Amino acid sequence: MKLLPCHADSYQRRLDTEVLACEPGPSGFRITLADTVLYPGGGGQPADGGTIGGARVLDVIEADAPTYVVDAPVPVGPVAVEVDWARRFDHMQQHTAQHLITAIALRDLGLATTAFHLNPERSDVVLATPVVPPDVLADLSARVNAAIRAALPVRARLITEAELAEVRFRRLPGEHDGTLRVVEIEGVDRNTCGGTHVANLAELQLISFIAQENRQGVTRLHWLAGGRALAALDAATAREAELVGLLRCAPAEHPAAVARLLQQSKDQGRDLKAQATELAVFLGEQLAAAGPVGALHRPGGDLAFLNAIARAAQARRPDVLLLLTARAEGPAGAFLIAGPADAVARVAPAIATALGGQGGGRPGVFQGKATRLDQAAAAEALLTA
């Protein structure tokens, strides 16, 4: 593997080097550098972000002969390369946390890691087990966080292949020349790795396991470390404070309060539906009693409600011809024409046009959406035209 300054010192945030070439490309300017401080990506860890002579790095193309795509041209010659430190340190925390989780899970719980993903929001390891039961997860959590409290040093050093037998092997990014880089958590783990790591487990602050997915005989265990765990705690605390205000009860009572509200809403929905049915029958019977032709314009409701009114009217008086509308927003809403099939066919096109409506139906029913329910009185006159 080619050793970069970020391998020797993950805390180096800036490097003075040289731009060897800068050419315009399809997605920005392609820059070749003499050297770099930006981690090129690999081993599950994404590439660093940063700037080269103030131009923002958009992509890393080649690690061994450092080549980048940046958003602005940079002159050939001396240049400062700066690491996006917030992103780098976050990756150092997540990556070191993965070493720790993988090592403890294997050594103390017999669970082997088969994959690692450092995602933008949360990271995961895939463990070779169908499920991690709650007591095992609690044990793993207690053990990794105890190691963090013990503030164990983390060191990276180079070894020869002859010394390799003693370390947990992982594939390295790119070719290597017989020299390997080993990352050691004192007393816990030695692992070949080309990534960037914190110098002491204390810098992880904490690891929080947040979810597991069990699929195809393996477990994908999601976790947050360091700044991500603290940010998640802050966000959860803010949401909790908001819920205290909304629900007007202590956080411990929130689940019960929400369950109660959901049940209440369900019950009320059922009551409302029963009342709407009663109202539809009442209105339908009134229309039927008033005459062979009738109209009703409601401030709310939907086509189901209008149909229920029409059915109730027709049950009382089969020859009734009705125009029913329900306003939703402004002059827009739903309309329904119901009655004897020939009468509906005769009046529907003109009424739909008057209401700025579109729709369809079946013999005896024409329904749809209208945009000009403010024209309801004019449309109503068309029933008897």
Contacts to Zn ion by CB under 5 A: 95, 193, 195
The tokens for 260 are 């109660």
Please report the sign of the dihedral spanned by the C-alpha atoms of residue 119, residue 123, residue 126, residue 132.
negative
Closest to Zn ion by CB, 83 or 348: 83
By residue count, the chain amounts to 385
Kindly list the distances between the CA atom of residue 124 and the CA atoms of 42, 54, 200, in Å, as whole numbers in the listed order.
16, 33, 21
- Closest approach, Cβ 7 to Zn ion, in A, equals 11
- Closest approach, Cβ 234 to Zn ion, in A, equals 27
Q: What are phi and psi of 355, to 5 degrees?
A: -90, 0
Closest to Zn ion by CB, 60 or 336: 60
Terminal Cα-to-Cα distance of the chain (whole angstroms): 89
Residues forming beta bridges with residue 322, ordered by sequence position: 294, 338
Closest to Zn ion by CB, 182 or 288: 182
- Closest approach, Cβ 184 to Zn ion, in A, equals 11
Closest to Zn ion by CB, 103 or 321: 103
Q: What are phi and psi of 228, to 5 degrees?
A: -65, -40
What are the residue ranges of helices labelled H in 318-362? 341-354
Closest to Zn ion by CB, 95 or 143: 95
Closest to Zn ion by CB, 192 or 375: 192
* Secondary structure element (H or E) that encloses residue 286, with its range: helix 254-290
- Closest approach, Cβ 43 to Zn ion, in A, equals 6
C-alpha triplet 377, 381, 385: angle, nearest 5°: 165
Determine the residue with CB nearest Zn ion.
193
- Closest approach, Cβ 142 to Zn ion, in A, equals 23
Closest to Zn ion by CB, 67 or 93: 93
DSSP tag of 178: S
Which has the closest alpha carbon to 357: 340, 343, 373, 346?
Answer: 373
- Closest approach, Cβ 52 to Zn ion, in A, equals 25
Please identify which residue in the block is written with the tokens 């290597």: 176
- Closest approach, Cβ 206 to Zn ion, in A, equals 19
Give the Cα separation of 354 and 325 in Å (integer).
13
